[in-house]
């Protein structure tokens, strides 16, 4: 075993939380090249210290817990963006609506006529009213038709 590996044995290393802290440190460092703000420098140093501390930490259980907590928060924060991405990607196939009562997400396939629509939540049988702004039908143009034009 090399000296480095021996030193690293039983140490925690890098995880997603450390990556975030390190990226934040880099951003602060770059900002620091242009503007000198004492507190910002201190925050940067503190972040770097935490990253190094976590890297060499032997309390793997505690570090894992911290990382899990971070991942949970990150998932919560990123969820709306994920939904926006999904809604955009599937904008021609379906409309997504959330049941206010049980928070189940319903996938309502298009095409829908424009206007106020009613549907029932399959989980809690709650009646859902929603406004559909789109009237879309997926048109399939065959090669034959295209050739006629």
Interaction with Zn ion in 73-132: which residues (CB under 5 A)? Answer: 99, 101-102, 104, 121, 123-124, 126
Q: How far is the CB of 123 from Zn ion (least distance, A)?
A: 5
Q: Which is nearer to Zn ion, 20 or 108 (CB)?
A: 108
Q: How far is the CB of 106 from Zn ion (least distance, A)?
A: 8
Interaction with Zn ion in 15-74: which residues (CB under 5 A)? Answer: none
Cα 102-107-113 angle, rounded to 5 deg: 120
By CB atoms closer than 10 A (0-12, 13-18, 19+), residue 63 is buried
Q: What is the C-alpha separation between 109 and 95, in angstroms, rounded?
A: 6
Q: Which is nearer to Zn ion, 43 or 106 (CB)?
A: 106
Q: How far is the CB of 9 from Zn ion (least distance, A)?
A: 51
Q: How far is the CB of 101 from Zn ion (least distance, A)?
A: 5
DSSP output for 24-80:
HHHHHHHHHHH---HHHHHHHHHHHHHHHHHHH-S-HHHHHHHHHHHHHHHHHHHHH
Size of the site for Zn ion (CB under 5 A): 8
Q: How far is the CB of 119 from Zn ion (least distance, A)?
A: 11
Q: Which is nearer to Zn ion, 126 or 136 (CB)?
A: 126
Q: Which is nearer to Zn ion, 95 or 121 (CB)?
A: 121
Q: Using CA of residue 59, residue 60, residue 65, residue 70, what is the dihedral sign? A: positive
Q: What is the C-alpha separation between 48 and 24, in angstroms, rounded?
A: 9
Provide the binding-site residues for Zn ion, judged by CB under 5 A.
99, 101-102, 104, 121, 123-124, 126
């Amino acid at each position: 075993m090399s000296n480095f590996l021996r030193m690293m044995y039983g140490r925690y290393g890098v995880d997603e939380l450390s990556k975030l802290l390190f990226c934040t440190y880099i951003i602060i460092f770059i900002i620091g090249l242009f503007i000198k703000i004492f507190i910002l420098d201190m925050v940067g140093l503190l972040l770097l210290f935490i990253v190094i501390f976590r890297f060499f930490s032997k309390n793997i259980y505690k570090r894992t817990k911290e990382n899990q907590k971070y991942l949970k928060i990150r998932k919560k924060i990123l969820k709306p963006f994920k939904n926006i991405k999904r809604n955009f990607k599937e904008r021609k196939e379906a409309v997504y609506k959330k049941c206010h009562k049980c928070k189940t997400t319903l996938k309502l396939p298009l095409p829908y006529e424009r206007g106020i629509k009613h549907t029932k939540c399959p989980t809690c049988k709650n009646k859902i009213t929603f406004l559909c702004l789109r009237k879309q039908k997926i048109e399939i143009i065959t090669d034959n038709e295209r050739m006629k034009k």
